[in-house]
Structure 1
């Protein structure tokens, strides 16, 4: 059991390097990984190979998929398609359900688009909708944060849920299906709870610093229609889900079907569709610049994700994953307690390091061996880890400052429009996970 102590020490070092030394999370993860390998007596001659092998194995599984997904999302944003989707979805709701419409639009857009970009696109619309529907402006802003944060944490092709299948060895289509349904339920439940709680805690005198800093969007010559704007997102999702459902009904997919429905090919097709849609309002140079911006963003995300894969490889090489599984088994293997532990570990990482990506990837690598012991499908373990990673973003999270400062809220106001709604969504997601693992264990 001394190896469990070394794992805890290595995690503490990673957290301190990120928080106190201000090293990049990827470098901190690799240093913590090397420390863990040394302490657990992984052969010095093999350690570097294990680390690079873990990084490379995860990148081989999701690297291109993440890159294509980010390019797809950036083109949707720059072509104006994301704004068209948001306006249409919000416009389809009545004043009574306007906050659900805003959160739903944020949820849908953040499946392919980064949180910060989604928020910047939607916050002017949220402020306008709040005035028209006679709703509190912070409620509208918090609903956007809730929807965007939930999708970015739980629904592929964003890196966290996309990595879940590779880390825990299950079909990404299952993550897409369970994460999509669970995320949507979390948004509905989260907005309902948030609408009841926020009026009781909001104090304008201390929570608002001034008038919102409105964001001006550069227009495109010709925005796509609603259906066209949705195509880059719907096409790869439909392809991946088709492959998942088809493979469940036959012993082996035909070669061409396995090729087309692979997540990498599906997202490549989605990126090509995004190019075709964007071409209606953008020239070639503008589209290439958009894709270049996406690739730059992808590089940072992939470094952190791959470093998490290296950490997981050392955990596996040292046998720590099996030790964790044996410990859970010794306490009766209760899936309820185990999934709650996954949530709390994810929450602890989110509070400590701020980054939802670091919290998600690290927690899933630690808990990767848990599913067989507690008798549930690994997707439920992934959902519990991701729910915890969604829970308590705060001042050490870049998303917090984007959410607080564009509407010009104070720090306490930011906690109420970013931390509170995402926490409520995470609790609903955990409840969905526990119910799902009870009704459909699929272990």
Structure 2
């Protein structure tokens, strides 16, 4: 649902948004009301308080909820089933053992993060996180300690690639709005992302994991591989080979690459629309379709190892139960962010920030940050901010435009909190309550964005003379 004409001034709308977040945190953290109920309740109250017409409130709620579920539910469901098969058959253990053997125990978090950077090139944040989840949890379960040491480097890597690097939709759309060259944006942002990830994610995750103990959750994958899955089970599975596991994990990477690369080429006019082969490859590279194909291949190659198809189906069915709460809470988080967008809070805030006479790079970062905090969606913050600063960017060269995209992406990354569906996804996947998620994921997203903006700021004077 599109944003409505704001019913109140900027100060009033910001006060409503701040009060809504405070009430939500109070209900969840102090009253201990279920997060799903709290999110829906506060979304309704915020919609009414922000002046959304009563007749439009149901659509504002359900459209945002439905949009979030459309992008998350299939990915989480297919991804968790793939992960359960990898874990139950020993595939995740094989990959974890190989990573540890190659890099050593102390470098395992770094290895997971670098692998996530690679896998995150074409795969969206939520899809990549779900597919990588069994590997993260298996490595963490092997060595013990806080799961944050292994989860944050990988999750932060997927978030960084999604926000900063083409062909992900946010930086591509921002670059197109500014008139930037996608290739130059890619070349400029890749080294910036690695530096920002290492400083803002890798080093920060070590600090956080040493101080906050989060046990490895058993929510998604049940018994450790090798233990009986149920009383009387006699399955003794020979683990798959490392090559087979890597092939399964690489399959969605390859399929989704078809979609992202070909869509970019069509958008840039390199390929014509309507070509049957191109349309077919774009279809099978659509993330839910790619994960469905990967799941079917995983069932064929791993699911029948020592099991009947009926037993495999029963195991997959059992894996879906624990994630229903995660999907609903994530959808409700998207609903809350959608209400804030529809109320016009983001637009009111950004209109007050434009034309303040501050440097363009800093202005782009601050506007994107304001939008991110106000309404939660990083993609919306990216595309909206690009439109707001486009007129001031007309005389910039291509490298300067790429750095403006970096600054916008950095602002759209910081301060992930309760109106961001990704906040709930990360928190629930890794067994964190809301307070712990704020102290870890929110902090890390902020340090990632600030680190990327700092690198862009250092490069800005050099870009002006090129």
For Structure 1 versus Structure 2, the TM-score category normalised by the shorter chain is 0.5 to 0.7
Structure 1 residues 155 and 299: CA distance shift in structure 2, 3 A: farther
Which deviations, in whole Å up to 9, do the C-alpha atoms of 1:25-61 show, x marking residues without a partner? 2221211111111112211122112211221123234
Counterpart in 1 of 2:387?
372
Counterpart in 2 of 1:73?
83
Q: Distance in 2 between the 1:367 and 1:296 partners?
A: 34
Q: Distance in 1 between the 2:207 and 2:339 partners?
A: 43
Which deviations, in whole Å up to 9, do the C-alpha atoms of 1:372-394 show, x marking residues without a partner? 3245888975665545449xx9x
Which deviations, in whole Å up to 9, do the C-alpha atoms of 1:123-177 show, x marking residues without a partner? 35436xxxxxxxxxx6x97642443443575578xxxx9xx969x9899xx9xx9
Q: Shift of residue 311 of structure 1?
A: 2.2
65-74 vs 372-381, which moves further = 372-381
- TM normalised by structure 1 equals 0.66
Q: Structure 2: which 5+ runs fail to align?
A: 1-9, 121-126, 176-181, 214-221, 227-235, 391-400, 418-422
Which deviations, in whole Å up to 9, do the C-alpha atoms of 1:390-410 show, x marking residues without a partner? 9xx9xxx6788889xxxxxxx
Q: Distance in 2 between the 1:289 and 1:182 partners?
A: 45
Q: Distance in 2 between the 1:436 and 1:230 partners?
A: 35
Structure 1 residues 341 and 382: CA distance shift in structure 2, 3 A: same
Q: Structure 1: which 5+ runs fail to align?
A: 128-137, 209-214, 350-360, 404-413
CA contact (8 A) 1:30 1:310 kept: yes
Q: Distance in 2 between the 1:56 and 1:399 partners?
A: 21
Counterpart in 2 of 1:55?
65
Q: Distance in 2 between the 1:78 and 1:299 partners?
A: 20
Q: Distance in 2 between the 1:305 and 1:273 partners?
A: 28
Aligned residue among 337, 340, 364 for 1:312? 337
Counterpart in 1 of 2:354?
329
Aligned residue among 252, 274, 285 for 1:236? 252
- TM normalised by structure 2 equals 0.63
Structure 1 residues 165 and 87: CA distance shift in structure 2, 3 A: same
1:139-178 matched pairs, under 5 angstroms? 143-151=149-157
CA contact (8 A) 2:367 2:385 kept: no
Aligned residue among 295, 299, 321 for 1:275? 299
Which deviations, in whole Å up to 9, do the C-alpha atoms of 1:257-298 show, x marking residues without a partner? 332221121111122122223225351344224322432243
CA contact (8 A) 1:111 1:151 kept: no
Q: Distance in 2 between the 1:223 and 1:41 partners?
A: 58
Q: Distance in 2 between the 1:183 and 1:70 partners?
A: 28
Q: Distance in 1 between the 2:347 and 2:368 partners?
A: 16
**When the two structures are aligned, how many residues end up with a matched partner?**
379
Counterpart in 1 of 2:17?
7
Counterpart in 2 of 1:217?
224
Structure 1 residues 33 and 282: CA distance shift in structure 2, 3 A: farther
